[in-house]
Structure 1
Amino acid sequence: MSASNTFDFTNPSTFILLGIPGLEVAHVWISIPFCTMYVIVILGNFTILFIVKRDPSLHEPMYYFLCMLAVTDLVLSTSTLPKILAIFWFNSRKIDFSACFSQLYFIHCFSAIESGIFGVMAFDRYVAICHPLRHSTILTNRMVVKIGLAVVLRGSMLALPFPFLVRQWPYCRTNIIPHTHCEHMYVVKLACADTRVSSYYGLFVLFCEIGLDVFFIVVSYTQILRAIFSLSTKDARLKTFGTCSSHLCVILAFYMPTLFSSLTTRFGHNLPRHFHVFIGNVYLLVPPMLNPIIYGARAKPIRDRLLQLFSHKGTKIFLWCSRFETYVHADLAGDMVLGRLP
């Protein structure tokens, strides 16, 4: 490679996102489920935030953490989906050098925050089931704020080295990223330098983000299961376990594709490239879509408030239509009396 070409890519002004390599012809069709999922993410998570804010009875630690999860999902999906849809619909593949690294930071930052929130929610369930009388004294509003700030600070600090490490590498090969977004390892592979530091740090963050949080979740739910099986009746065991089932579902929906995507990116070299890209999008899109659906279906207080909201709106619409119909009939009757109608 000539010196001039090397210089051109040492500090590229833009990267080129290919989308899903090999499936460019089907981008428009693939955009339909992607767009549908994004609409569900927006509507579902804003609904959760609206219901919790409006109902004072839901101002409890569990629902505060659920609101944190909703905000995290909104930021995580919005950091990638608009650009992905622009690629699919308008073939807008260019992304600014700094914007690419910003996107990379937001993905890792809010993925770490979401993982931390799941760990905190597991602790909340542990205290609520194993120490119900002390729940309100342990998880006070002040403690919830401290825990939330700690989770956000941890995610922000863990993700901070990613853009700085990636920015320092010289990019003398190409500026084409065969992905729908600026995925860390795909950007690192473009550099023409020894990038083992970035790779090792990525594994370290994976251990801190998934390994420690999953360990904490497993310990919490081990204690929860011990408490559940110690209950005297089967109905009590099922009812208590039902309060944790929604949390377990969202945990599996987040950690399984996240772990699978991280490992296949590093070690699954024999897998088709479009498969890597699909899995890389699954853990960014599916959990933010499923979280409000699962909690809306399983969390009875939220489901009841949502039904009340829709029934109240439906009643208001019905009353407005009835009142409008009454006015119409009254006008027609007046016209008939005045002889304006036959």
Structure 2
Amino acid sequence: MPDLNHSTVTEFILTGFPGLHPEYRGLVSAILFLIYVLTLVGNVTILFLFATNHSLHKPMYYIILNLSTCDILFSTTTLPKIISKYWFDSGTISFTACFVQMYFVHYLGTVNSFILFLMALDRYVAICHPLRYPIILKNSTILILSITAWVLSQPSNLMITIRAYPLPYCASNIINHCYCDHIGITILACTDRAPYGFPAFFFAMFSLLGPLAFIMFSYCSIILAVLKISNINGREKILSTCSTQLIIISLYYIPRCFVYLASNVGIQFSADMRIVIIMLYSLLPPMINPLIYCLRAKDMRECLWKQFDRHIIQQKTQVSSIN
């Protein structure tokens, strides 16, 4: 039974990138701030286009809407604190705030994984069962599945957070990371973390590998279906519609699987290298995803150009009225 007393630990200290030379802290904070701004601008643009263009009210874009919302929330959960560490030398985070951040980090990561599952489901039905697509995946169906993803992701992550909170933290309060996560916190507990670490690892693998298994199945089925098409232009068109999602899914899963696999086969990373890889797969996809949507998704691209044209026309009208 863990001691409910937190002992002397009332706050944690985030190290960020442990080996970073002080003279580069300003540059790193500027880069992180730029990533945060680009992430917000890009994903808010997606939300704006969806809200102002009825033509985007389709199942695929409802899924993208969920992904953009998740990306905004995840970046807002993780980036401001680490930016303030390097900008204002404020790396401390209160005991409770650290656990709140840990919950949202894992919760939003789980939601993200399930949303990517929905993206793969959408493409699988659209390509392998095109005649049944309007029946199977209606807007209402995607809405229900999306709400389910957000709701079902809560209990497991809330449980591991609640179980970790009362552990006795009586030694170091230094977390070698840019944000609070389950491993970074629980290794500081003055008790055996195995009973707490295993359930967290199990839920992490379930939320990562479960959707990934279906994603691999769906795209294997899609490839087989495409190979049966004799029309080369038809093949290229279908592959083009899938390439956007494959890029997004690859950015999310490949680095994660690499880190998990490397840690289990004995490949060792320096603390800085591990944190850099984790930050890359945590922060780059939310920043890059909107760019991929707007460049690759035809409907989204057309809506974006319409907004630019409308803005230019309004400016010309204002100039003409002034003259």
TM-score (norm 2): 0.93
Counterparts of 1:161-200 in structure 2 under 5 Å?
A: 161-200=159-198
CA distance in 1, matches of 2:126, 2:264: 39
Which one has a bigger Cα radius of gyration? 1
- Does 2:14 correspond to 1:17? yes
Conserved? CA contact 1:171–1:192, under 8 Å: yes
**1:113 touches 1:152 (CA, 8 Å); kept in 2?**
yes
Which letter maps to 2:17? I
After the TM superposition, which residues 61-80 of structure 1 pair with which residues of structure 2 at under 5 Å, given as runs? 61-80=59-78
Mean Cα deviation higher: 262-271 or 21-30: 262-271
Q: Distance in 2 between matches of 1:19 and 1:266?
A: 24
Work out the CA distance in 1 between the residues paired with 2:146 and 2:17: 36
Secondary structure in structure 2 of the residue aligned to 1:79: helix
AA in 1 matched with 2:192:
D
Q: Which of 215, 224, 227 is the equivalent residue of 1:226?
A: 224
1:105-124 to 2 correspondences below 5 Å: 105-124=103-122
Q: 1:296 and 1:107, CA in 2 relative to 1: closer, same or farther beyond 3 A?
A: same
In structure 2, distance between residues paired with 1:40 and 1:207: 30
| Structure 2: 5+ residue stretches without partners | none
Residue matched to 2:44: 46
Cα distance in structure 2, aligned partners of 1:267 and 1:205: 20
Task: Find the residue that maps to 1:19 and give its secondary structure.
Answer: coil
Distance 1:231 1:214, change over 3 A: same
> How far is the alpha carbon of 1:266 from its aligned partner?
7.2
Superposed CA offset, 1:187-206 (max 9, x none)? 11111111012221232123
Instruction: Determine the C-alpha separation between the residues in 2 that align with 1:281 and 1:145.
Output: 30
For residue 241 of structure 1, what is the aligned residue in structure 2? 239
Distance in 1 separating the partners of 2:266 and 2:98: 24
C-alpha displacement of 1:117: 0.5
Q: CA deviation at 1:7?
A: 11
SS at match of 2:62: helix
1:227 CA displacement:
1.5
CA distance in structure 1 between the aligned counterparts of 2:124 and 2:197, rounded to whole angstroms: 35
**What is the CA deviation profile of residues 18-54 of structure 1, one whole-angstrom value per residue up to 9, with x for unaligned ones?**
2211215122111122111111110111111111111
C-alpha spacing 1:209/1:186, structure 2 compared with 1 (3 Å):
same
**Partners in 1 of 2:7 and 2:288 — Cα distance?**
41
Displacement, 1:270? Answer: 3.7
Per-residue deviation, 1:11: 5.7
- Cα gap change, 1:229 to 1:133, in 2 (>3 Å): same
Is the 8 Å Cα contact of residues 5 and 168 (structure 2) preserved in structure 1?
no
Aligned partner of 2:38: which letter? I
- State the one-letter code of the partner of 2:18: P
Partner of 1:144: 142
Unpaired runs of at least 5, structure 1: 1-5, 327-342
Give the % identical residues: 35
Instruction: Say if 2:11 and 2:92, in contact at 8 Å, map to a contact too.
Output: yes
Q: 1:23 to 1:267 in 2, by over 3 A?
A: farther
How big is the shift at 1:309? 0.5
Instruction: Identify the residue that residue 274 of structure 2 maps to in structure 1.
Output: 276
Question: Which amino acid is 1:287 matched to?
Answer: P
Say how many residue pairs are matched: 320
Query: In 1, distance between residues paired with 2:266 and 2:18?
Result: 16
Q: In 1, distance between residues paired with 2:114 and 2:92?
A: 33
Q: Aligned letter for 1:301?
A: D
Per the alignment, do residues 80 and 266 of structure 1 end up closer, same or farther by CA in structure 2, a change over 3 Å counting? farther
Q: Tell me the amino acid that sits aligned with residue 97 of structure 2.
A: A
Tell me the CA shift for residue 96 of structure 1: 1.0
2:306 to 302, 308, 329: 308
Normalised by the length of structure 1, the TM-score is: 0.88
**Partner of residue 30 from structure 2, selected from 29, 32, 55:** 32
Q: Could you say what the CA RMSD is over the residues aligned between the two structures, in angstroms? A: 2.0
Q: Structure 1 counterpart of 2:135, which letter? A: T
Deviation at 1:162, TM superposition (A): 2.1
**CA contact 1:31–1:88 (8 Å) conserved in 2:** yes
Please tell me whether the aligned partners of residues 250 and 291 of structure 1 are also in contact (alpha carbons under 8 angstroms). Answer: yes
